[in-house]
Structure 1
Amino acid sequence: MKNARGAEEHAGVIGIVLFNVLPDIEDHVVFYRAVTGGILIQLASVLDGCDGEVARLKKMESSFGNFFDAVLDRYTDFFILLGMFFYSLTSREIAQLFGSFALPVIFLISGLAMVGYVMVSYTSAKSVADFRYRYKGRWTAAGRGRDIRLFMLFVGGVMASVHPVSIPVSIFGVAVFSNAIVLKRVLLSWKCSSGKDVPINRSINTVVFDLDGTLADTMTFLTNLAAQLLIDNYGLSVEEARNKYLETTGLDFATQMSMIFPNHPKNERVISAFEKKKRETVMELPLFSDVIPTLQFFKKREIRLFVCSSTPQEIIDEYLKLQKIDWYVDGHYGLKPDFQKSRQIDFILRRYRLRHDEQTNFPFLKKL
């Protein structure tokens, strides 16, 4: 119910703008009062930014309110462009200036502007649906360009006091600007889908990697080793042994065993055998083929990199140095007494004064 009231409040403010401002815009623009129409366009832009702030200050913001706001914005934009289109179409000064080309020119630039408006919204939605990514950046981010487009139309309306041709010129500016944003987004999405580039949220400044199965191709070996020990010592089937180990991966092996077989007398011997074999073999196991390009990608963008692992610290130190990737990372932390992976991450957050939403692990790199 609270969200519903929030949506009504949010929509109410937008409604005031839509039904009180837009008729004036249409009346003034269509009936040659372009300067007043331009001022009202800018006023509509300002009020559109205020309603969201009002909803947030009153703690009445809702998902439906945001959605409904965007829907009404599209209707507003359409009617503003429609009014300016009819103004350009019926202006004698513009007709005299362009001559026989007036009609096709006005239809062309107005059509491109309207299509650009639609495609800007469409590409925003499709990027989330297909790439699970919201465009970032000064010009390409969703919602960033609308104020600029309305400002162009405002300037066009005001400058009509000098000559009405400023109206189609401003529409042309909106057409170029909108379609340029769409083109840039298409290129960005193509690079993303082809693997040539990956869009990164600019708010991300720190990435934390696991070692086993993320950077190092060790999970096949470790899974087979653990499964064989569970089969030999606890009488499990192959499937049971593998499932029990994989269900608790991410923890150190001692903790895994205490969860799988609490207080079992064989646990200490099994843990010792596992760690011994792991130390003997892990240095021979390679990195995944895409690890170094990935680290270079982040490093080039000045994103801090860390490794946290349930593997003992001395193994981490030696392995990263052996693979020559220790210099890529700002810190690497392994298992020590009372310093499990969760404590390692907490240590990074405190030391570098990060918030939890600024620290990100990339599970898509994990390969089992």
Structure 2
Amino acid sequence: MKIKAVLFDFDGTVIDTMVYYAEIASKILKEECGLDKDFAKRLYLSTAGRDFPTQLKLMGISGEKANRAYKRFIEEKKLVLRKSEISRYAIELIEKLKAMGLVTAVSTNNECHLVRMVRGIERFDEVLCFDGREYRKGLPHLLTLLGKYRLKEEEVLFIGDSDYDIEIYSKLGIRSLKTKGIFDEDEVNKILKEIQRMDDGKEG
């Protein structure tokens, strides 16, 4: 079945933020929770892709320490995203996909009010983000996309750079492409060729 929508990961795929987030998180985890900074950075990166409250739970951090860490992380992340923009090659790919008649969407566990600060985010047809509670990457986002655009799972392609994200959407019956990170011209061409292969029934 032909691809009708492409769902993008956000951090590390269409926007270059992970280095900054890891630095912010490791500093906060050291100051609020007493963790060694290098160890905290590794913990953060090993749990990346999840919303920060879930990451903290996986690190064994809860209660008031977790609340303080989360509030600080949001405030510092805001400073990063205010200065950020969707990469030029991601925008090039989005526009080419739209010209092909495909729906373009982004799925992120970044908080919605922060995502809207990013320059170029309006290029996507649909922005699916974290509401601070239960609306997050995975089934909640997918159900919105399928329902609003009357799509079937097999008509959606997910593109992301982390094994965690690929696993989430693959388990939901979504075809996935793992990228090497922030897009460049070669990556854009590779993705377009792969979509053509899928449409021709030659994936693999």
Same fold (TM over 0.5): yes
3-state SS of paired residue (2:93): helix
Corresponding residue of 1:332: 127
Q: Which whole-Å deviations, capped at 9, do the CAs of 1:247-277 have from their partners, x for residues lacking one?
A: 2111111111122124354111011100011
The one-letter amino acid paired with 1:348 is: L
**1:348 lines up with 2:145 in the alignment:** yes
Give the unaligned 5+ runs of structure 1: 1-201
Q: 1:301 to 1:208 in 2, by over 3 A?
A: same
CA RMSD of aligned residues (A): 2.1
From 31, 54, 77, give the equivalent of 1:278: 77
- Shift of residue 348, structure 1, vs aligned partner: 1.0
Q: 1:248 to 1:266 in 2, by over 3 A?
A: same
Corresponding residue of 1:263: 62
3-state SS of paired residue (2:50): coil
- Shift of residue 330, structure 1, vs aligned partner: 1.6
Q: 1:298 to 1:366 in 2, by over 3 A?
A: same
Which whole-Å CA distance do the structure 1 matches of 2:159 and 2:9 have between them? 9
Q: 1:316 to 1:351 in 2, by over 3 A?
A: same
Corresponding residue of 1:50: none
**1:205 lines up with 2:31 in the alignment:** no
3-state SS of paired residue (1:341): coil
- In proportion to residue count, which structure has more helix? 1
Flag the structure with larger Rg: 1
- Shift of residue 236, structure 1, vs aligned partner: 2.6
The one-letter amino acid paired with 1:356 is: E
3-state SS of paired residue (2:116): helix
3-state SS of paired residue (2:14): coil
TM-score with structure 1 length normalisation? Answer: 0.41
- Shift of residue 317, structure 1, vs aligned partner: 2.4
Give the unaligned 5+ runs of structure 2: 161-178, 183-204
Which whole-Å CA distance do the structure 2 matches of 1:296 and 1:286 have between them? 16
2:32–2:68 CA contact under 8 A, matched in 1: no
Q: Which whole-Å deviations, capped at 9, do the CAs of 1:329-352 have from their partners, x for residues lacking one?
A: 221122113211121122212332
2:5–2:155 CA contact under 8 A, matched in 1: yes
2:81–2:117 CA contact under 8 A, matched in 1: no
2:85–2:120 CA contact under 8 A, matched in 1: no
- Shift of residue 325, structure 1, vs aligned partner: 4.5
The one-letter amino acid paired with 2:135 is: F
3-state SS of paired residue (1:362): strand
- Shift of residue 221, structure 1, vs aligned partner: 0.8
3-state SS of paired residue (1:270): helix
The one-letter amino acid paired with 1:226 is: A
Corresponding residue of 2:28: 229
Q: Which whole-Å deviations, capped at 9, do the CAs of 1:81-139 have from their partners, x for residues lacking one?
A: xxxxxxxxxxxxxxxxxxxxxxxxxxxxxxxxxxxxxxxxxxxxxxxxxxxxxxxxxxx
Which whole-Å CA distance do the structure 2 matches of 1:314 and 1:243 have between them? 27
1:310–1:334 CA contact under 8 A, matched in 2: yes
Alignment of 1:99-138 (within 5 A): none
Corresponding residue of 2:175: none
Corresponding residue of 1:361: 158
State the percentage of identical aligned residues: 23
Corresponding residue of 1:304: 103
2:86–2:121 CA contact under 8 A, matched in 1: no
Q: How many residues align?
A: 163
**1:316 lines up with 2:115 in the alignment:** yes
Corresponding residue of 2:50: 251
Which whole-Å CA distance do the structure 1 matches of 2:135 and 2:109 have between them? 9
Alignment of 1:2-13 (within 5 A): none
- Shift of residue 365, structure 1, vs aligned partner: 5.9
TM-score with structure 2 length normalisation? Answer: 0.71
Which whole-Å CA distance do the structure 1 matches of 2:120 and 2:77 have between them? 20
Which whole-Å CA distance do the structure 2 matches of 1:212 and 1:206 have between them? 19
The one-letter amino acid paired with 1:335 is: F
Q: Which whole-Å deviations, capped at 9, do the CAs of 1:56-99 have from their partners, x for residues lacking one?
A: xxxxxxxxxxxxxxxxxxxxxxxxxxxxxxxxxxxxxxxxxxxx
